[in-house]
Structure 1
Amino acid sequence: MTGSTIRAALTGVVGLAVLATACGTTDTSAAGGPIAVEAKDDACGVARAEADAGTITFEVSNKGSRVTEFYLYAEGDRIMGEVENITPGLTRRLIVEVPDGGKYQTACRPGMKGDGIRADFTVKGGAARQADTDAKLGEATRSYQRYVGSQADTLLVKTREFVDAVKASKVDEAKALFPVSRTYWERIEPVAESFGDLDPKIDAREADLEPGAEFTGFHRLEKDLWVTGLQADSPAIADRLMADVTELVGLAKTVQLTPLQLANGAKELLDEVATGKITGEEDIFSHTDLWDFRANVDGSQAAVAALRPVVQERDAALATTLDEKFKAVDQLLEAQRSGDGFKSYTDLTDAEIKAFAAAVDALGEPISKVAEVVAQR
């Protein structure tokens, strides 16, 4: 099966979970109801340009011909919430907590590239934070922030080891450290993506670069190590990666997360698996995609685990379903272990890839419901 054939097949499978989020659409005309967003290839129509502080829901319908994303940005391009992988004809919902009034921006990203089609969005007044008024949600955010802090600390250590190996031209050592260092990045990627352009500097894939954009970060060094051989500027690229990761770790350990960011982040990590890891497009030079797959699932599990007391209390059946579906994905992943790591993506059979896609699809549907459960008052 060719790469394009696999992508086409998996888009259909993963799209089933996306479609499930389109059900239960409510009236978008009421001032406090969901805000309709009509995303096209060349336009992003947001029905209202303002909302009261608190929990805000956007209902994004893709009326264009390309897969798109929708974002709500705060000042400095800090991501308040996002919904990815909205295929043509489908609708997905973004529920985001915005307790502070002020100026924000909405953005659709047709083709999931570039800065997006943006518009100003105003949040009026202020609202109590869920984590401040609900003890269980407060503990959930503190628990997850402790997890982020520990992963960030290890990301810093392992990236330093990887960078040092690259700079010393220890190719075999650097290759061994590449998927290890990325594990800690992939586990907390939704948090990492919150900080403007640090994410593309660290993790942009060559195929996703805008014309004229510089190729830096993990994947540039991946290409140097596995394809072209180390280049004259590889040490400088390694130093920049280290500087960017150091900056990101400092930010990640101080960011104040909301319970809905945990819920949305858990789903985003499954979207990452569906759009990059299952298809083998993430680590296209090293084929270490299963390491990233495992890390994304770990991060999603950590977010759901932090929220589990709330989910269990409000929807016990959903909590049970999540446990079952995570277990199914875990079993498939662990079957691909090789030593301390994983098999190469290229060693997977078509049947194994399809089994992964089906398991992620089955998990993505219940995870898409967590945000709605968390948003309940």
Structure 2
Amino acid sequence: MPETASGPPTPPAGRRTALLAGGALATAAAMAAAVLAAGGFGEGRQQARTADGVRHTTVEVTSAACGRGWTHPEPGRQVFDLHNTSGTAAEVYLTDARTGAVYGEVEGLAPGTERPIRVTLGNGAYAFKCLPDDADAVTGPTVHITGGHVKSGPAALPVTQQELIPPTLAYQKWIQARTVELAQKTDVLRDAIDRGDLAAARAAWLPAHLVYERMGAAYGTFGDADSAINGTTAGLSGGVHDADFTGFHRLEYGLWHGESASSLRGPAGRLAKAVHALRDSWPDQRMDPADVGLRAHEILENTVQFELTGRTDYGSGTNLATARANLDGTRVLLGYLRPLLKTRHTDLSGLDSWMARTRRTLSGGEHDGRWTPLDRLGRAQREKTDADVGELVERLSAVAALTDVRRTA
């Protein structure tokens, strides 16, 4: 996977995932500042090395001189300090000159600023590509490295919008089938409440809710339907008693806090209405292919933030079941993206192994169809759950980066 560097200003949510750790980035930025203080472009700056022994090369970013400054190529681990001397913000890629594979990138490099790319380069031909905002891409001179004894990488071919359309359409069809299933199971829940059978309603609540929780990559396309179906009390002044608290979690609170069937018939009817509206409207919706890979990472990122903290538990104690449903939804999405990942992801088998390991860990909270609430997990099981899901989230960040649509012209 290509390394990325990100820094102020922070890119808006939903864009490229940065793979360079914050601590390392801060260190590299400090190194870059020290090198830039040495003077202008030229021979004296090619051999600049910092206290850690890493070789730095300052490279100019401008339409007229993209990549200028890299005149003494050497193999090995090194840092390129990108200096935007133009008056326009730009993206910058370090590419394989023959295949176009990306070894490193910086997005949103503002005029007059510097940012680093840390890479390992072996023998080969390389070129910087500068992509100014609102202007055509410019490819700098090809630089050849010879005599090296290290392997370049990691790197990945850019993904195009067209390549993401087939998996997106296939996933949309899968979601369509889930909306039908969701409507059927929500009707069972509503009907149980209508006839006053709260025990049956509690039994029907989780199966219906888990169908929705497997559909996480489509939430952004659902729009207002998401809050109507699965909203929480976040931002509601009245908390669980607020009139705008609706959907599955509103019913969860009532079913596990002793509310009567008559008080739950209204919320159950509104939930069913919202679910049926989603089912009926989904065939006319269109997911953005550019966001699909990012969603593969965000689903479990949200699981860590909301499910494993218990913030979405309103009485059923089924956060682990929800987390497993989120994982299952992620697995489905990765299945549709697999043809693209097979030629780009350097450790797809490792990702698969962590998916399976994490599912086993989450399934450890289920016993005879009943789920252990988070606050009743033993310390070792809780730590393993947090560690396994957290590690998987980190690994999925590579999927987001590899499937992000990059400019090529």
Normalized against structure 1, the TM-score is what? 0.63
Q: In structure 2, what is the equivalent of residue 155 of structure 1?
A: 182
Distance 1:27 1:279 in 2: 42
Counterpart contact for 2:247–2:267, Cα < 8 Å? yes
**2-side partners of 1:307 and 1:146: how far apart?**
14
How far apart are 1:265 and its partner, in Å? 1.4
Question: 1:332 aligned to 2:361?
Answer: yes
The residue that corresponds to 1:356 in the other structure is: 385
CA shift digits 1:310-348 (9 cap, x unpaired)? 01112232x223212212201202222222453343431
Q: How many residues align?
A: 267
Match of residue 223 from structure 2: 196
Q: Distance in 2 between matches of 1:254 and 1:335?
A: 39
- Cα distance in 2 between the residues matched to 1:331 and 1:372: 27
Whichever residue aligns with residue 187 of structure 1, its letter is: R
**Shift, 1:213, TM fit:** 5.8
**Aligned partners of 1:280 and 1:289 also within 8 Å:** yes
Structure with greater helix percent: 1
* Partners of 2:232 and 2:249 within 8 A in 1: yes
**In 1, Cα distance between equivalents of 2:303 and 2:268:** 26
Deviation string, structure 1 residues 94-117 (Cα, Å, up to 9, x no partner):
xxxxxxxxxxxxxxxxxxxxxxxx
- The residue type paired with residue 285 of structure 2 is V
Q: Which amino acid aligns with 1:310?
A: L
The equivalences for 1:75-224 within 5 A come to: 130-131=160-161, 133-134=162-163, 137-210=164-237, 214-224=244-254
CA distance in structure 2 between the partners assigned to 1:304 and 1:248 by the alignment? 24
Preserved CA contact (<8 Å) 1:130 1:258? no
Distance in 1 (CA, whole Å) between partners of 2:177 and 2:83 is 43
Distance 1:138 1:181 in 2: 29
> For the aligned residues, what is the CA RMSD?
3.0
Asked if 2 retains the 8 angstrom alpha-carbon contact of 1:192 and 1:248, the reply is: no
Q: 1:308 to 1:271 in 2, by over 3 A?
A: same
SS of 1:33's equivalent in the other structure is strand
1:266 aligns with 2:296: yes
What is the CA-CA distance between 1:210 and the residue it aligns to?
4.6
CA spacing shift, 1:362–1:30, aligned 2, 3 Å: farther
Residues 141 and 259, structure 1, Cα contact 8 Å, conserved in 2: yes
- SS of the residue 2:315 aligns to: coil
Give the residue type in structure 1 aligned to 2:274.
Answer: D
Tell me if structure 2 keeps the 8 A contact 1:27–1:33. Answer: no
Contact 1:272 1:296 survives alignment (8 Å): no
- Cα shift at 1:250: 2.8
Report the Cα offset of residue 240 of structure 1.
0.6
Corresponding position of 1:321: 350
Aligned to 1:297: 327
Question: C-alpha offsets along residues 217-248 of structure 1, whole Å, 9 cap, x if unaligned?
Answer: 11111111111322644111111101111122
Alignment match of 1:282 (pick from 312, 337, 343): 312
User: Where do 5+ consecutive residues of structure 2 fail to align?
Assistant: 1-16, 30-81, 93-106, 110-158
Contact 1:152 1:253 (C-alpha < 8 Å) held by counterparts:
no
- Do structure 1's residue 237 and structure 2's residue 237 form an aligned pair? no
Q: Which residue of 1 aligns with 2:91?
A: 33
Query: Structure 1 residues 359 and 18, CA, compared in 2 at 3 Å: closer, same or farther?
Result: farther
TM-score, with length taken from structure 2: 0.58
* Higher alpha-carbon deviation: 353-362 or 226-235: 226-235
Q: Percent identity?
A: 26
- Are the equivalent residues in 1 in contact too, given 2:232–2:312 (CA < 8 A)? yes
Work out the CA distance in 1 between the residues paired with 2:83 and 2:286: 32
8 Å contact from structure 2 (residues 296, 400) kept in 1: no
CA deviation after TM superposition for structure 1 residue 283, in Å: 2.1
Give ranges in structure 1 of 5+ residues lacking alignment.
Answer: 1-16, 35-56, 60-128
Which amino acid is 2:180 matched to? D
For the pair shown, which has the larger CA radius of gyration, 1 or 2?
A: 2
Aligned equivalents of 1:184 and 1:282: distance in 2?
16
Q: Partner amino acid for 2:222?
A: F
State whether residues 303 and 323 of structure 2, in contact with CA within 8 Å, keep that contact through their aligned partners in structure 1.
yes
Asked if 1 retains the 8 angstrom alpha-carbon contact of 2:18 and 2:401, the reply is no
